[in-house]
A and B are shown apart, each in its own frame.
Chain A
Amino acid sequence: MNRTQTSGAVADETLLARIAGGDKEAMHVFYRRHQKAVFRFALRFVRDEGAAEDVANDVFIDVYRQAGSFEGRSKPTTWLLGMARFKALSERRKRRDHTESDDVLEAVEDDADTPEVVAQKRSKAEALRACIDRLSVEHREVIDLVFYHGKAIKEIAEIAGIPENTVKTRAFHARKQLALLLEEEGIDRGWP
């Protein structure tokens, strides 16, 4: 998430202090800095762009309302993603029936080609991206938090509300599942 923050930019903590005082310009800067990351994170849970947009904007409105309660015990981005996760999961529960029917459709589409044909059609990188997209929400979440958001073990534990050891094993199982999905498509990773 810090990938969008250039050196010399006003620190997130400083922006939050200004936002707590009602500074809307600071809120705009904070929003523009993190809107993509929050939207993309929410989208993994709700799987609908409109819903992810609503979730992301609600998160930032809560930031404006609650900036004064940010105590600096964690990084602002960790606080932000924790709120996004909570709201996205609530939205996902509301939309559960719809999401499950989508999952079924996706599974049907995935079975359209044999593994050999799929392997021929796709490069390894394309296959890998497709397999990451097929991971469960929990596995995909940890992969995104590690690699896209660059979060440490402790931060992921805080965002997901799970023990640090569970974070480690969940990431390991996500990688194993990824290897299995690739194997189904005819690609042997040679790991684990």
Chain B
Amino acid sequence: MTQIGEKERDELELLMPWYVNGTLDRATAERIDAALESDPALQRSLETLMEDREAAVDLSEAVEVPASMEARFVAQLDAEPAPGAARQRTVQSPGLLSRAGMWIGDLVAAMTPPRLAVAVATACLLLAVQSGIIVSMLGGEAGFETASGPGEEAAGPGMLVQFAPGAEMAAITGFLEGEGARIVDGPLPGGMFRLEFGASDDRDADELSALLRGQPGLFGLVLPAN
């Protein structure tokens, strides 16, 4: 073992974080390997850096991505023209329903079924709302219906909710189906989604609020829609 000088220790000390994350070139890493054998200060530095790394990773991984984020992205992406074609596109072309169908095909290939239901619901609703067209595009295919149109069943009571961070889409859709409810709009400002219960549902807003607030793993903020 050879002792290292102060200047070399200072130089290696500055590189220690990258020794720990494994991105230094081999020669530099080997210099640090050798220095660590004889230098208690660098050894202590390494110990603290290992602790720092664990804490930093724990902190980042504790942050959950909001449940609505992917559905919102899918809707944004669908509204995008193909790269390089931005100036070619008009509002009506190639047609909202046609584009929605192509987009659903992409999603079916890339998404798991539970996520698909909510993502399709959100994106198609945005398309419908933006264009002023309210149609029933998916029906039972994805377990979702768009907002009511002429001839459809009258709307039941409505609620506004935020999904709880980390809530699983499968759990959300399973719960809503069990209660005869569906997502009819969103994301709205504040990350809210509008839920609609069946027309024959005679529970009032207070009862529905209590029902939804009783599922803290699924819903955050709960408000009456009307």
Binding site for B on A (CB under 8 A): 19-22, 24-25, 27-29, 31-32, 35-36, 39-40, 43, 49-50, 53, 56-57, 60-61, 64-68, 124-125, 128-129, 132-133, 143-144, 146-148, 150-153, 155, 168-169, 171-172, 175, 178-179, 189-192
Interface of B is mostly: helix
**In the bound complex, do residue B77 and residue A61 qualify as a contact, i.e. CB atoms below 8 Å apart?**
yes
Nearest Cβ in chain A — how far from B181, in angstroms? 24
Query: Which stretch (B45-53, B137-145, B151-159, B205-213) binds chain A?
Result: B45-53
**For A56, what are the chain B residues with a Cβ–Cβ distance below 8 Å?**
69
Interface of A is mostly: helix
**For B69, what are the chain A residues with a Cβ–Cβ distance below 8 Å?**
35, 39, 53, 56-57
**In the bound complex, do residue B80 and residue A61 qualify as a contact, i.e. CB atoms below 8 Å apart?**
yes
Closest to B57 in A: A148
**For B20, what are the chain A residues with a Cβ–Cβ distance below 8 Å?**
146-147
**In the bound complex, do residue A150 and residue B77 qualify as a contact, i.e. CB atoms below 8 Å apart?**
no
**For A25, what are the chain B residues with a Cβ–Cβ distance below 8 Å?**
106, 109-110
Residues of chain B at interface, number, CB under 8 A = 52
CA distance A146 to B50 in the complex (A): 12
> Which of chain B's residues 145-186 have a Cβ closer than 8 Å to chain A?
165
Complex A-B: 29 CB contacts under 8 Å: A22-B84, A28-B106, A28-B111, A29-B110, A35-B69, A36-B65, A39-B63, A39-B69, A40-B63, A50-B190, A53-B69, A57-B69, A65-B83, A67-B83, A125-B54, A128-B55, A132-B55, A132-B56, A133-B59, A143-B52, A143-B56, A144-B56, A144-B60, A147-B21, A147-B52, A148-B61, A175-B49, A178-B52, A190-B48
